[in-house]
Chains A and B, each alone.
Chain A
Amino acid sequence: MKEQLHELKEQVMLKIKESNTVKDLNDVRVAYLGKKGPITDLLKGMGKLPAEERPKMGALVNEIRESVTEILEERKETLEQQAIQEQLENESIDVTLPGRPVELGNHHPLTRVVEEIEDFFISMGYEIAEGPEVEKDYYNFEALNLPKGHPARDMQDSFYITEDILLRTHTSPVQARTMEAKDGASIKIICPGKVYRRDSDDATHSHQFTQIEGLVVGENIRMSDLKGTLDLLAKKLFGAEREIRLRPSFFPFTEPSVEMDISCFKCGGTGCNVCKKTGWIEILGAGMVHPNVLEMAGYNPEEVTGFAFGMGPERIAMLKYGVEDIRHFYTNDIRFISQFHRSEA
């Protein structure tokens, strides 16, 4: 019986070695160690042995059974690892293949500029004011110190609907409306929006374009406040190292009026093609609110002052991103719009 046992062990060992899959191995385990297997048979046959041999044989059978089990487990682990290895090899991919695209849209470059400006002023406690794109002549012109007959309000330059109604030519009527509605209270607003002028569309003109204006009205608002505000704006839009300069100019609704230049962001002021060799780039118009405008809106210009400024997001986007033709903003060529996707900093 001892020989039988040893022979059996040899046999099992061989079978285990020959097993190349976990399944084969399992078959071997069932075949030899299972309820119907030879070892069980042997154990069952123990009864026939003389009593004194039984413990010895029992121990031997158990020993063989244990060692077979151990070897089976070892082999199983090896085979499992092999299987995983194989699976991993089979599952290997070319990581350089293109990923599944996440289709994101993006906002229009002008919205990008407008929101950047809005957010900057919101952080300084401004509100955003909006108004109608079709306006009364009164708010578009008269309330802004452009009385009837003023040369600046030629029919040829504006899209009139009737004699008294037109497509607004600037966002300033929103200022006039806000002042009127505030009824003497102080104001800090930004007015973005579409405006219209009777221009033929070409590389630098568009019959529809956007504007963003700001207005602050209150007691003791000074030109230095305007300058400080514009300085921060210039640095926010075009970089912390920008300098500004103010030049006297003329607008009917402000007095004094200024134009603001920033030091060229391309060359830093030494002169290049962007700044036309001057080192400065004209960015916006501004000024102290004209007393007539304050008065018409119900403020006493002796007691209340204000400043206003206005700029064109198209111009700013053209300068910032090097866009050469204003029509790109309205053609909606996806190859243009999709370039304004990524972050800037």
Chain B
Amino acid sequence: MLVSTNWLSNYVDWNELSVEELAEKITRAGIEVDGIIDRSFGMDNIVIGYVNNCVKHPEADKLHICQVDVGGEISQIICGAPNIAEGQHVIVARPGAILPGGMKIKKAKLRGEESNGMICSLQELGIEGKLVPKAYAEGIYVLPNDVRAGDSALTHLGLYDRILEFDLTPNRSDALSMLGVAYEVGAILSKDIKLPEISYSASAEKAQDVLKLSVEATEDNPMYVAKVVKNVKVAESPQWLQNTLMSAGIRPHNNVVDITNYVLMEYGQPLHAFDYDRLETKEIVVRHAREGEKMVTLDQVERTLNDQQLVITNGIEPVALAGVMGGANSEVHEGTTMVVIESAYFAPSSVRQTSKEVGLRSDASTRFEKGVDPNRVAEAAERAAQLMAELAGGEVLDGSVTFDELDKTPQKIILSPDYVNNRLGMKIAMDEMKTIMDRLQIPTDLINGQLVMDIPTRRQDLKIKEDMIEEIARLYGYDEIPKTLPIVESTPGGLTPYQAKRRIVRRYLEAAGLSQALTYSLASPKDAQAFALETAPVTKLLMPMSEERSILRQSIIPHLLDATTYNVARRNESIALYETGSVFLGIEEDGLPKEVEHVAAVLTGKWVHHAWQGESKKVDFFVMKGIVEGLFEQLGLLDRLQFTKATVDQMHPGRTATVWLDDQSVGIIGQVHPTVQKQRDLQETYVMEMNLQAIMQTAIEELLYEAVPRYPSISRDIALVVDRDTTAANLEKIIKQAGGKLLKKVQLFDLYEGKNVEGGTKSVAFSLTYFDPERTLTDEDVVKAHSKVLDALTVQANAQLRS
């Protein structure tokens, strides 16, 4: 909503404040003023000129040499506009003027002819092209002849005006009219407001004698008022009206249409003017359109209607799409002499639906959609009739043709001052509350210590007690509310164990060198299920904005790989990222997808890099595995963790493992398949993804202190030659089983395949640590235990001992 502060002065006297102060007060009271536009743009030296003489430039086809009277002085100005002519009053920017676009007007020579200024279009004065009357859209603006050369053109055009740009919240549709704004400003400033005085002398002829009305769709159209004005002379509107409309962001057309738009902005009540003669039938019938019925709207578009859409008809065919747009067939035109003014209440939902269906949103439809003030419907029609009499020479027929089943009674709200104060944490006296209601012009009685309020229908946002608390608080001033803290039955607060563990996981991964990434949950069909830990039906959007973001992800890895490719392409070649977040699997009983929190990570490039000491190691499987092991250690689950070789789509078949927690598979780890790496422009890249939720929800043993060893431990190393296929995990398992309770630790410390061992075999070395918390071990004890281990390895793993 654009509010001209000049126009506002007609209704409320705010002039003891600066525009900035006014804007600030309005903002603080609840309507945000987004900006202040100075329509003069600080221009100067813009005067009205009279074109005394206008001849073609001898050297240029499109230019004219004009002798312009700029107020007691004749100035030669070259003009290139197609519509320049002798005898016109025009806008002249004199040398020294600076136009809103930044153009500085100087004396100049154009093709050898002197030019002392510029004859301007409205656009050149900073008026948007779409607001300039059509007649002057392509050229200079021509003023009427009742002006005087030398006077300020800006004054004449009403450009010494500042506009408040309102950013209205959806509830404040009352401020979609100048009167609504005036009520608001009046309340803020504690000022009375001046409403328009409506008076005109009506003709003896009665409106109901020339027009018949029937409303068939009474639910969507509970009130319809038609006034008839005859002997109208359609012409350009007076300058002040055109100026006012342009200041409100509306393009002037002709006096009749301009008057309906003026009243729309003044009252917030959309009006429509029909050419009475073009209606042909002397009848208006409001009904729903017939399915497939066609009509051509004012914008010359033929529209096919459906049976939900409300239309105004002449009893035969539609002449307007109710509340949305008029029809071309009944449009007011130059030759119109008799006008029907329509003022109606159309149901908000009906207009919203129609305007959406036909794709038309107008100043009228936005107001109907919010619900217009039922008590202004008739008054607005009278106001328009008055202006047509005053400005278009019309003669208003007596009375109006009306259908009215609309409830116009104000709503009552009863409020106790305690209720207000208890909710605000304040002590506002009842009298002060009453004063605020008076400022808002909400009729209020004090009965039995309560405020009994009749809410005017113009404030449709005020429905419940809490709405009135807001009215009181905002006008009393939010700055006056004290600062306290809530007193609630005390709870300890804090993170749940799950949330605390999530933070541990993040901190651990960061300490391990991975940075946290945050990627989108919506994925492409190609990526949605890639690398997924389990297969489940996907969750698709009904109306995606793009295929790229159309399905909820079932794995985090694809987007982490995208992020990696993005980084690598920008020469960030060593990447270590992790992400925790939900994946979406199948549908639960309640209809929602099963959301499971996962953790995923990606590593590529160098892991150890210390150049000048010649240390540089690329990431490999075991770097990622170490990170996973560390994570399980942090969570107290390391001894329940296992890895088994696995085959996963898009992963390297020889370098991928399933991650097991006890006997539950909780994740995958491994290298991205070389082909996929290539497709994604990546070098050797490792990923892991785990069901974090399952891991974090696993119960762990209580953390209890274990005595620090008092007796020394004894270590023994063994070197074995085993089949190449024998896994380290298998050997370790055999060792642990055979070692008995004295064996405390098994650590693989060497692995060799190659020259010095037979083909198909490998050499593995373990360090075994024996320990008894009760006593110092003897050599004998260790030999006994150790030989069992060696036997077991020989028997169960076909291992050969190396000396």
Contact residues of A with B, CB < 8 Å? 97-98, 100-101, 103-108, 110-111, 115, 118, 121-128, 130, 132-136, 149, 151-152, 155, 159-162, 164-165, 167, 185-188, 194, 196, 198, 200, 207-208, 216, 218, 220-225, 227-229, 231-232, 245-250, 255-258, 288, 290-291, 305, 307, 329-335, 337-338
Contacts and interface: CB of A to CB of B under 8 A. Distances in A.
B513 A103 contact: yes
Nearest to A200: B545
9 contacts: A104-B511, A106-B510, A107-B506, A126-B493, A208-B521, A218-B486, A246-B479, A248-B473, A258-B478
Interface residues of B, number: 91
Given A100-B610, A105-B511, 10 more contacts: A111-B518, A128-B499, A134-B593, A167-B521, A188-B486, A207-B549, A225-B485, A231-B483, A247-B478, A248-B29
Contacts of B545: 198, 200, 207
A334 B171 CA distance: 44
Contacts of B595: 132-134
A330 B482 contact: no
A194 B584 CA distance: 14
B432 to A, nearest CB: 17
A122 to B, nearest CB: 5
Contacts of A222: 422-425, 484, 486
A305 B423 contact: yes
B404 interface: no
Contacts of B607: 103
B542 interface: yes
B485 to A, nearest CB: 5
Nearest to A257: B470
Interface centre among A118, A185, A232, A246 (most CB of B within 10 A): A246
A149 B486 contact: no
B32 A247 contact: yes
Contacts of B469: 255-256, 288
Contact of B493 (A125, A161, A337): A125
Interface stretch (B303-311, B394-402, B565-573, B764-772): B565-573
A275 to B, nearest CB: 14
A101 B552 contact: no
B385 interface: no
B539 interface: yes
A160 B542 contact: yes
B447 interface: no
A250 B482 contact: no
Contacts of B517: 108, 332, 337
A162 B587 CA distance: 12
A125 B489 CA distance: 10
Contacts of A257: 470
Nearest to B607: A103
Contacts of B514: 105
Contacts of A291: 464-466
Interface of B: 27-30, 32, 169-172, 349, 352, 369, 422-426, 464-467, 469-470, 473-474, 478-479, 481-496, 499, 503, 506, 509-522, 539-545, 549, 552, 563, 566-567, 570, 572, 575-578, 581-582, 584, 590-593, 595, 607, 609-610, 612-613
Nearest to A288: B423
Nearest to B507: A107
Contact of A250 (B170, B543, B609): B170
Interface centre among A118, A127, A248 (most CB of B within 10 A): A248
B486 A225 contact: yes
Contacts of A288: 423, 466, 469
A228 B591 contact: no
A127 B493 contact: yes
Given A101-B609, A216-B486, A249 B30 contact: yes
Contacts of B483: 224, 227-228, 231
Given A125-B492, A208-B521, A332-B563, A229 B478 contact: no
Contact of A105 (B486, B513, B570): B513
Contacts of A164: 591
A225 B506 contact: no
B757 to A, nearest CB: 35
B489 A245 contact: no
Contacts of B484: 222, 224-225, 227-228
Given A103-B513, A106-B510, A223-B473, A134 B543 contact: no
Contacts of A186: 488-489
A151 B352 contact: yes
B515 A220 contact: no
A336 to B, nearest CB: 10
Contacts of A231: 483
A161 B473 contact: no
Contacts of B576: 103, 105
A104 B170 contact: no
A337 B515 contact: yes
Contact of B470 (A100, A115, A220, A255): A255
Contact of A333 (B519, B543, B570): B570
A282 to B, nearest CB: 9
Given A256-B473, A333-B567, A188 B493 contact: yes
Interface centre among A216, A307, A329, A330 (most CB of B within 10 A): A330
A246 B478 contact: yes
B479 A245 contact: yes
Contacts of A220: 422, 487
Contacts of A307: 486
B513 A104 contact: yes
A171 to B, nearest CB: 14
A118 B503 CA distance: 12
B516 A290 contact: no
B481 A246 contact: yes
B324 to A, nearest CB: 16
Contact of A247 (B28, B369, B591): B28
B515 A338 contact: yes
Contact of A223 (B425, B503, B512, B567): B425
A293 to B, nearest CB: 11
Contacts of B32: 247, 249
Contacts of A118: 495
Nearest to B29: A248
A258 to B, nearest CB: 7
B543 A221 contact: no
Given A165-B592, A333-B570, A250 B171 contact: yes
Given A248-B29, A334-B515, A227 B466 contact: no
Contact of B566 (A151, A167, A333): A333
Nearest to A194: B521
Contacts of A135: 592
Nearest to B593: A134
Contacts of A106: 510, 515-516
A134 B592 contact: yes
Contacts of B610: 98, 100-101
Contact of A108 (B425, B465, B518): B518
Closest CB pairs A-B (n = 7): A224-B425, A248-B30, A222-B425, A256-B470, A250-B169, A228-B483, A332-B563
A330 B566 contact: no
A132 B592 CA distance: 9
B591 A165 contact: yes
A168 to B, nearest CB: 11
A73 B126 CA distance: 103
B612 A98 contact: yes
Given A188-B493, A224-B483, A332-B567, A159 B541 contact: yes
A74 B291 CA distance: 121
Contacts of A167: 521, 541, 552
Contacts of B578: 105
A164 B495 CA distance: 32
A246 B572 CA distance: 45
A334 B512 contact: no
A228 B494 CA distance: 21
A107 B30 contact: no
Contacts of B613: 100
